[in-house]
Structure 1
Amino acid sequence: MAAKLYTEKHEVPYYECDVTNYMTPAMLLNVIILISEKQNLDLGLGADFMEQFGLGWVVIQYDISIDRLPEINETISISTQATSYNRFFAFREFWMKDSDGKELVHVRSTWVTMNKSSRKMVTIPAAALEPYDSEPVKRLPRLKRPTKVEAADDVIEQKYQVRYYDIDGNGHVNNAHYLEWFTDVLPMDFLATHQPTAIYLRFENEVQYGHMIDSIVTKPIEVDGELTTNHQILVGDAVSATATIKWRNHD
């Protein structure tokens, strides 16, 4: 039996877009997470359900393939499916398609359940998995890891203060803010003339309210014929998140 698929239509409003009138990568994450939350609610597995276990779902890795980003006022369909799982990890996919059914974005992601008191990863409760009809597996699909930023790399760096409104219901920084920090360091003229084609994003350590973070990015270089940037978020000397983003010239 295939895992349950949840789909909704979505009209892209102006506030999800940048100056080019295309959806920002950070808003892309916000929108797909909203769709997964709606599926959870539809199956009776919302935040209140997880709260009875003292747990919250936490994503630890994304692998995002982008044909093109949705644009302002475009009506797209967004689908999600909790595909497979084992004791500690769950695998969820997302798709964005245009009105003709052409795939715009495909997101693969790995999730864990976190104990909100201890802040530690714990075994996923069976009751939190059964309604999805996900496939039990020994090993989940392997997602591509970001390339590390090396000491010898030519980088751009910017500091950010973590604000109250950066924090989500799990008590740490919302996923989308990492993509804002990653990309905001790049010059505006680069961002206005390029779109990402792939984003490999991995979370290592929590970032919490009051932290001062360093966002570091390598200057764009050609890697295997693709314009590429490598990113990391630091709190002190600890790496909190890493990413590799591949880019193409904007249409």
Structure 2
Amino acid sequence: MEHLAKIKQYKAFYIITQEYFLSDIDNKFDFSRLMKDVLQTSGEHDCLVNKFLDQPILTAPLSWIITQNHFKVYRLPKMGDRIEIETRLVNANRFFVDRWFSVRSKEDLLMEFQIQFSVINLKTRKMGRIPDSRIKALDLVDSSQYQRMEKISLPEEMTIYSDRGYQIQDEDIDGNNHVNNLVYLRWCLQALPFDLLREYQVESLGIKYGHELLFDQEVSIQTYLFHSLLDQNGEFRIEPSVKVCSSYQIIQNLSTDREAGFLIINWKRNESLS
């Protein structure tokens, strides 16, 4: 049972190096780089669980995909920090599992993630079923950190800032033969005003993924900001009194006229987030 307890709360360790920072925006922290570590930790945990069971939870052609990703930032890691990423399965039903992640430096809690996974059949491209009864029977779920994910919707007072198209590249496609979920985040950050990225820091972020994007499809990112943040020409402006703000973005599959994703980022001015 002690061995099972370690499996339920899996931990991995990483060192923060220069590659975790964006050199073109005053060494801004790169959340998409950290997300690689978070997802790697998730994959390592899956491998450990499969080894414990002596058989995989999912068998080919089934694979995990991300349907929602929400995280909060309490403090950013610094160069040279040794961070600990812990993951637990915190919810399971017939259609989804939720994983909770913590990111710590020493004893300090830096960030929390809750990511929802579902199953896709890589041959039919249709959703599959989660083996939730098996997961629960093996007592792999620790619900102590589970949080209900907030719904993401576009407020009426938002104004469209830009509608930017992207060309899907070979390196954007992952092992599931669709656009990697980290690419969505990169596209959205690139579409935001430079001054917003420079003057503000991410406080929390939520992504809800819709229909998958395939290599030969066209995509655009529609970016929405509050009207009060834009001047009469529709350009983003820095208002010293604005300490917090939000951006909303819709990832649109132009080839199918379907929504591929919806992202909200809540921001804090740099001086208010240590």
Bigger helix fraction: 2
Q: Which of 92, 116, 122 is residue 99 of structure 2 equivalent to?
A: 92
- Separation (CA, whole Å) in 2 of partners of 1:190 and 1:148: 19
Structure 2 vs 1, CA of residues 222 and 83 (structure 1 numbering), >3 Å: closer, same or farther?
Answer: farther
Of 11, 14, 36, 2:15 maps to 11
Q: Which letter does structure 2 place at the counterpart of 1:15?
A: E
Instruction: Please state how far the C-alpha of 1:220 moved relative to its aligned partner.
Output: 5.3
Instruction: State yes or no: 1:217 paired with 2:223.
Output: yes
| Structure 2 equivalent of residue 230 of structure 1 | 248
Which residue identity does 2:258 align to in structure 1?
Answer: A
**What is the correspondence of 1:29-68 to structure 2 with a 5 Å cutoff?**
29-44=35-50, 49=56, 52-68=59-75
Q: Which has the higher contact order (CA 8 A, sep 6+)?
A: 1
TM-score (norm 2): 0.80
- Counterpart mapping for 1:1-251 below 5 A: 4-19=8-23, 20-44=26-50, 49=56, 52-99=59-106, 101-125=107-131, 129=135, 133-134=140-141, 141-148=147-154, 153-219=159-225, 226-236=244-254, 237-251=257-271
> How much identity, in percent, do the aligned residues show?
22
* TM-score normalised by the chain length of structure 1: 0.86
Contact 2:99-2:115 at 8 Å conserved across structures: yes
Change (3 A) 1:127 1:169: farther
Task: Kindly provide the CA deviation profile for residues 200-241 of structure 1, in whole angstroms up to 9, marking residues without a partner as x.
Answer: 110011011122211111135679973000111111132110
Which structure 2 residue ranges, 5 or more long, are not aligned?
230-241
Contact 1:220 1:228 in 2 (8 A): yes
Whichever of the two has the greater Rg, that structure is 2
Contact 1:146 1:242 in 2 (8 A): yes
Aligned to 2:103, what secondary structure does the other structure show?
strand
Paired positions, count: 246
What is the CA–CA distance in structure 2 between the aligned matches of 1:107 and 1:135, rounded to whole Å? 15
RMSD: 2.9
SS of residue matched to 2:176: coil
The Cα shift of 1:148 comes to 2.4
